[in-house]
Structure 1
Amino acid sequence: MTAFSLEPAQTAWCAELRTLAEQRLRPLADKGEPGRVNRELVAELGRLGLLDRLFTSGALELCLMRESLAHACTEAETALALQGLGAHPVHAYGTRAQRARWLPGVRAGTTVAAFALTEPDAGSDAAALALRADPDGTLPAQDPPSLARNPRPRAQEPSPPAAVTAPLAERDGGRGWRLTGEKCWISNAPEADFYAVFARTAPGAGARGVTAFLVPADRPGLTGSPIDMLSPHPIGALVFDAVPVTADDVLGEPGRGFRVAMGTLNLFRPSVGAFAVGMAQSALDATLAHTAQRDAFGGKLKDLQAVAHQVAEMALRTEAARLMVYAAATAYDEGAPDVPKRVAMAKLLATETAQYVVDAAVQLHGARALRRGHLLEHLYREVRAPRIYEGASEVQRGIVAKELYATVEAP
């Protein structure tokens, strides 16, 4: 990719993804039940090899996937993204045993993952987590749950970095904890098969006192309930009642879970922007078609200067957001030092832009756009949440400002 355009092969792949989303994923999404995991849709993403690419692609390719799928099927895009968000901590920070046990099912679409960070009083302020991980002496290591849900696991994952290949129980004396507290607004809860859970192992230590755990859904003491929300995918609350975990369940290192969370979010934030760009482009395309055909005031809507200028503004903002998303993803792939600032800017601009473009599209379509089942009615509901999750717009502005001032020398 140059600074201004995709390579021909990338453009062709995006077109192929849009076709797959329209022809094979859209029909399955339409059969899904709102507020429930659409396991048939997730399995199809696995059969198409798209879930596998979550773990073999860089940030830019992830963005291209999410943008392309969102253009034709936001439900498929979200199902893919949630698999990646929930499983990335295992892929990037898990032990060989954790990866071999859980990732084949995620890749195949037979195991559903979830990222459990947010709490009732700790949303955007992730360092304020209150879910407690109380020491529990020398609990024996937990046996892995039955493989019955994944009868045909795929080949074992490549070995993780040497720092996490040895079983943590051996390095940490078999230490155990009991998780007590709540998580809420968790996508795929309470239906996921496992959760990447972030809990406080060192009270009063802020971000340095958080540990990440891989918690199977059938662990004793873990219960969940759905939350009725404006969302086509499940969002729920989790209650941890002295849920047992051991060092074998730790993702990364004890006390360094905040790094796991932020490392995951730095990868997925620009791709949230790509999701938003896909929705904006879909709304723009619908508006171009509508205004070119709609008769009004003795001509076509597109002939009215006010309409034409509005459409031009929608296109301008969409393209600007797309370029910023691609630039942030490329910076991530190249290991640039200013990734936190870039990904925050990309998510902020793209999600705010999508809100503007979809709202403008609804206005230009009139009442028909708010009829149940209309594309824009669907996008109008979908476009609001990305400005909140994975760090609200206000949080992204805070990150950008912090990174900017870090380069200014104090007087």
Structure 2
Amino acid sequence: MVVSPSNLLDQVLDYANRANPYPIYAKMRKHPVQVQTDGRYIVSSYELVDAILHDPQMSVDMRKSNEPGVRIEQEEPGFVFQDPPKHDWLRHQVMSKFTPELISGLQPRLEEIVKELLDAQRPNQRMDIVDDLAYPLPVTAICELLGVPRADEPKFHIWSSMIIKGTNLGKDPVAVQEAMQGRDHLNHYMGELIDKLQRQPAPGLLSALIHDTTYEKRMNKAELVTTAVLLLIAGHETTVNLITNSMLTLLRNLASFELLRHKPEILSNLIEEVLRYEPPVQFTIRTPLTDVTLGKVKIPKGAIVMVMNAAANRDSARFQDPDRFDPLRPNIAHFGFGGGIHYCVGAPLARLEAYIALSALARRMQNPRLLQDPPPYRESPALRGPRHLLVSYDHIA
């Protein structure tokens, strides 16, 4: 068994390395399964990450682990943090409403939002990609989709930020406590909104779930609350990172930006390459339901296993020249949205929002330049992306 030199996971969690964790991931891949001195395991190769994401014996439910410190909540978590059969049933309830037809039907509205946001920047010659576009687009979209009042965004933005800050794997007890408080606030808010929608149905996915009579068994209030909180947070936080990471990568690779301007048909593939090269979710957590062996290393039941998606995405055993951004790269089978039965529910919406935002930026923003590189990053090591991305430009068409 290899003990992680200098606790490589702690180095990833250290904010000092947030701007560029990839050299640390490269060190991890030299020994694809390592154990830290605190007993947590790191898995970083493409082959083994893929195996874990498809292994039913690797649980996403941290209530089944031996380490209470990673438990942000003791009550029932959202369905993406549950195992079958509960995960499958709740996911089916959501997906029966969150259909491809619904998502494709959002395109005109998403294009309208992006146009309004960029039009507002026309008098200026600089903007913050995060505050002026990458955040307001998905948060407006998810509010309208769920039926959550957009005017309440300042409140739930604070609570969401508190929750995400607490994803530092229990290493910061203050952040964990704040995360629990943020979840309590957001659960209470969603509970009140659900009560209101129960009395008075309204447009939106949340009301549709509340009043669904398709199935004999219906979601109870606790399940509705955790699902609503999950969809609200996941529906905008990761997309902010995807859009911002994409623009940062393009401005660091101006030849790719120019290629996109002249060949917009490459955009779909380009987004997949960003999801590989700079994924918005860097790692996830699993715990074995029984003793398992990975790469000849025995991992005991209940241990914490860090599944390093971003490290696997740059594994040279799977990708040629993996540290090079290539918008024309073929066969990009990445872990940017996870894998297996817990593959990201909102992936189609995130792709569509990124496509519309990046298409408009490439078409309308003339001669963009980064004003700060590296930019300041958000605190979360798992949901990694710039907190701000300041860009100057000649004009917006």
TM over 0.5: no
Smaller-chain TM-score bracket: 0.3 to 0.5
Pick the structure with greater CA Rg: 1
Per the normalisation by structure 2, the TM-score is 0.32
Per the normalisation by structure 1, the TM-score is 0.31
Higher percent of residues as strand: 1
